[in-house]
Every structure is written in C-alpha cells, then in structure tokens.
Structure 1
Amino acid sequence: MIKPREKAPELEVQLVNDTTWKLSDQSPENFTLVLFYRGKHCPVCKSQLEDLERKLDKFTDRGVNVIAISADTEAVAKETHKAWDIPNIPLGYGVSIQKAREWGLFISTGIKEEPELFTEPGLYLITPEQTVYWESIQSMPFGRPSFNDVLGGIDYILKADYPARGEA
C-alpha cells in the first residue's frame, strides 16, 4: 500500500493512440488523476469512464490531467476506445499485474468472460511532484467514488490548501 505523501511508483503505459504515457513526464497544474479500471469486460467501468468523459472539462478546468489504465491487451483496449463513448480520455493498456500490485491494487482471477487476471478499480490523485495525495481502491466493481464528489473534494483542497491525509 502506498501512503499519501509518499512517492508514487513510476508508471509507464502505452496509449491506444500509439504513444507512451509516463507519470514522471506529467506536469499538471494541480494533480494527475490516475484511474485503473477492470477492463473491457466490465459494464461498470464503461459507465464510469463515460461519466468521466462527460466531466473531463471540469477536471481540466481544475488543473487536473486524467488517464485511465487497464491490464487489457492492446487489441482489447483499442476495441474499448472505439466501442465506449470516451474519445478524449487517454486510455492506457497492458499494465502488468506486478506494477498493479506496486500501486496497491487488488487483483482478481477471471470468471466467465473475464481475462485470466485483471486489476480491480483504483483512483488516485497524484501531485505534480509525483506523490500520492488521495487514493480510493476497491476490491469489487462497485463502491467507486462519484466524480462529482471527487471534483468537490478538489475544489475544497485547492480553496483551503488542505494537506494530504492518511500519511501517519
């Protein structure tokens, strides 16, 4: 588990637009929002990412860069990007199970139509210095924070200069 105020593990993923994204290359005004999603097989993820797409401008207006990442293969991630209504979300794929564990994510074994192994959801706000400010990690597809709550939290953080909590 990564505690708030600790350096986030380095993260480098390929994006569906055939570029590479690295956390250490990010220089947001306020935060980078890193969303780990279960994969194309997950209807809750589809709803979550499409909601994020609708609110993407609100994050951008608050100085927050956004990325969504899964352990899906390149082909599956590119299918996801075409099938879901998420044209503006940088979509990363191929995160290794080992890297996901470094981030403290829960890993599940596939059932039915799911991949053999995949990550459960995780949502992180990372500072421009690549430290963890806030994290929400789930062991199931449900119980994710709403983006309206996250946006409200960011507003409070920025207004009150509120420090990251949970570091002790």
Structure 2
Amino acid sequence: MIKPRQKTPNLSINLVNGTEWTLSKQHPEAFTLLIVYRGLHCPVCKKYLEELQTKLSKFNDLGVNVIAISSDTEAKAKQTYKDWAIADIPLGYEFPIEEAREWGLFISKGIKQEPDTFIEPGLFVIRPNKELYCASLQTMPFARPGLDDVINAIKFILHKDYPARGEA
C-alpha cells in the first residue's frame, strides 16, 4: 500500500478517445485526482461519475486534473462513455488488476452480471511531483467521498498549505 508522501507507481492507461494517459507526464497546477470506478455494470459509479461531470470545472479552477479509470475492456469503457453523461471526463480502461493491487485497491469476484474480477472504487489525490497526498479506498460501491467534500478539502489544503497526513 502506498502511504501519503510516497511516490505513486507510474500509471499509463489508454483512454476512450484513442490517446494514452501517463501519470508521469501530468503537470497539474495543484493535484491530479485519480478516480477508480468499478465499471459499466455499476449504477452507483454511473451516478458518481455523472456528478463528477457537473463539478469538473470546479476541480479545474482549483488546478486539479481529473481522470477516471476502470478494469473494463475497451468496448465496455466506450459503451460507458456513450451511455453515461460524462463527456468531459478522461476515461481510461483495462487498468490491470495487478497494478490496482500495487495502489492498494480492493478486488472483487463478480456476481450476477458483473465481470469475473474487477476493481473496487478508489480516489487518489496526487501532487504534481507524483507523491500521494491522500487516498480513499472502498471495498464496495458505497461510502465514497462526496465530491463537494473533496472540493472543499482541496480548497482548505491549498489555502492553509496543509500537509499530507497518514505517512507515519
């Protein structure tokens, strides 16, 4: 598991728009916000990412670059992008389960209409130097941080120059 103030693993992932996103090539003013979602099968993820779409400009105004990724296949990710109201969110796919484990994310075995295995939600706030500032990891689709709470936390962090915690 990555602790705050430690370098994150590098991450390169294909996006539904045909480009590749690489964490080491990101240069946000304040932070990168990496959101891991369960995939197309998850109605809670749909609601969360559609809410994110409505708040994307608030994150951008704070100097935060946002990306959402899952272990879904390219076809499922493109269907997600088409069916969900998330037109401005960079959407990555085929995040390897092994790499997800390096990030400390939880993995589930599918039930009913779910994929055989998939990654449970996570939210990572990463400094421009690729150090982890904070993370929130879930074992199921519920109990994610509210996006307004994340926005307000980032405002506080930037205003007070509040250090990352949880590193000991």
Q: TM-score, normalised by structure 1?
A: 1.00
Deviations along 1:127-148, whole A, 9 cap, x unmatched?
A: 0000100100000110000000
2:120 paired with 1:123: no
- Give, in whole Å, the separation in 1 of the partners of 2:122 and 2:111: 20
Question: What's the counterpart of residue 46 of structure 2?
Answer: 46
Q: Give unmatched runs, 5+ long, in structure 2.
A: none
Structure 2 counterpart of 1:56, one-letter code: L
Secondary structure at 2:8 match in 1:
coil
Q: CA deviation at 1:38?
A: 0.2
Amino acid of the structure 2 residue aligned with 1:117: T
Match of 1:82 in 2: 82
Distance 1:75 1:18 in 2: 12
Cα offset, 1:83, TM superposition: 0.1
Report runs of 4+ in structure 1 exceeding 2 Å deviation: none
Corresponding residue number in structure 2 for 1:145: 145
- For residues 103-143 of structure 1, what are the alpha-carbon distances to aligned partners after superposition, in whole Å with 9 as ceiling and x for unaligned? 10000000000001100000000000001001000001100
Q: How many residues are matched?
A: 168
Residue 19 of structure 1 corresponds to which residue in structure 2?
Answer: 19
Correspondence for 2:154: 154
Gaps of 5+ in 1: none
The residue matched to 2:7 in structure 1 has which SS? Answer: coil
- 1:92 aligned residue: 92
In structure 2, the residue matched to 1:8 is 8
- Alpha-carbon distance in structure 1 between the residues aligned to 2:51 and 2:43: 12
**Structure 2 counterpart of 1:103, one-letter code:** W
How many Å apart are 1:92 and its aligned residue? Answer: 0.1
TM-score with structure 2 length normalisation?
A: 1.00
Tell me the distance in 1 between the aligned counterparts of 2:155 and 2:58: 11
The whole-number CA distance in structure 2 between the counterparts of 1:156 and 1:71 is: 32
The correspondence of residues 49-68 of structure 1 with structure 2, limited to 5 A, is 49-68=49-68
| Matched AA of 1:87 | A
- Aligned-residue Cα RMSD (Å) equals 0.3
Counterpart in the other structure of 1:104: 104
